[in-house]
């Protein structure tokens, strides 16, 4: 039995998430199905660095594949991509040591959320279009309250309440890129729907409907309020997963370009 490390990108629009589920199409399930077809008669197992919600995308999901094979990593990558639909792509495959575990060995994960300030004909599956004017400075200032170790029970879903809801957030960065507001969140791990609720609360602060005082309350007391502001999955991307002494790329940017076109008056 050999273990391989897979680097995967996917458009999560058509999937119920990464994690395999009964009677639902998942990214893990599709990969397992295709791997079983390629390695006929061999037992295969694929485990990811973490689940992503239904409709959430990945720029750099990491998984490990267990299978008995003599095929080279590059051949495995080619064979998987030959059978995968266009919305899942294996970027790289490498042989790894038998004890490597995509989820247990991960040190940190980063997500990027894309908010569009205008209607877009091309980027709709990958952004959250907000018609209201958002106060970027208020959002950026409030975002720093997330940094550090906090209990995210107010941002967790029922599925996570049986385990610890304490999460270490290493950094939160906001920037404007063309017609997009980008929010990058780096943490040790994330609870189900947690990032989308963090983004939703920041948006309400940007709208002026919530304040920094409200956010402090959510971090110090259990509250059902953040669930009401859960951001849609379309704008969320798993950006990167780090292992050992790897460092997160400092710079980050949008995954699509919906910058405003330069408009000039037509002269008659």
Nearest to 134 by CA among 231, 257, 251, 223: 231
Nearest to 15 by CA among 48, 64, 44: 48
Q: Which residues pair with 237 in a beta bridge?
A: 57, 112
Of the listed 11, 45, 53, 245, which one is catalytic?
53
Give how far Cα 81 sits from Cα of 29, 30, 90, 146, Å: 15, 12, 6, 38
Rg of the chain taking only CA atoms, in angstroms: 20
Nearest to 243 by CA among 107, 78, 90, 63: 107
Residue 53 bears catalytic tag: yes
- Torsion (CA) 148, 226, 11, 130 in degrees, nearest 10: -110
In the chain, count H helices and then E strands. 6, 10
Q: Which residues form the catalytic set?
A: 53
């Amino acid at each position: 039995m050999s273990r391989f490390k897979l680097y995967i990108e996917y458009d999560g629009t058509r999937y119920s998430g990464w994690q395999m589920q009964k009677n639902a199409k998942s990214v893990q399930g599709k990969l397992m199905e295709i791997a079983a077809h390629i390695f006929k008669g061999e037992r295969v197992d694929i485990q990811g660095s973490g689940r992503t919600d239904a409709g959430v995308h990945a720029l750099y999901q990491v998984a490990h594949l267990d299978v008995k094979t003599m095929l080279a990593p590059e051949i495995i990558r080619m064979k998987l991509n030959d059978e995968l639909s266009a919305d899942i792509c294996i970027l790289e495959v490498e042989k790894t040591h038998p004890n490597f575990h995509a989820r247990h060995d991960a040190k940190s994960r980063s997500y990027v959320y894309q908010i569009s300030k205008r209607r877009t004909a091309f980027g709709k599956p990958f952004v959250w279009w907000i018609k209201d004017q958002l106060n970027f400075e208020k959002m950026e200032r409030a975002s720093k309250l997330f940094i550090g170790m906090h209990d995210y029970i107010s941002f967790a879903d029922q599925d996570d309440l049986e385990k610890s809801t304490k999460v270490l957030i290493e950094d939160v960065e906001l920037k404007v890129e063309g017609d997009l507001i980008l929010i990058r969140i780096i943490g040790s791990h994330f609870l189900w729907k947690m990032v989308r609720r963090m983004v939703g609360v920041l948006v309400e602060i940007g709208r002026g409907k919530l304040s920094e005082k409200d956010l402090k309350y959510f971090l110090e007391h259990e509250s059902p309020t953040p669930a009401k502001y859960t951001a849609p999955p379309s704008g969320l991307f798993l950006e990167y997963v780090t292992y050992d002494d790897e460092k997160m790329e400092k710079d980050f940017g949008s995954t699509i370009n919906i910058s405003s076109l330069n408009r000039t008056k037509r002269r008659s």
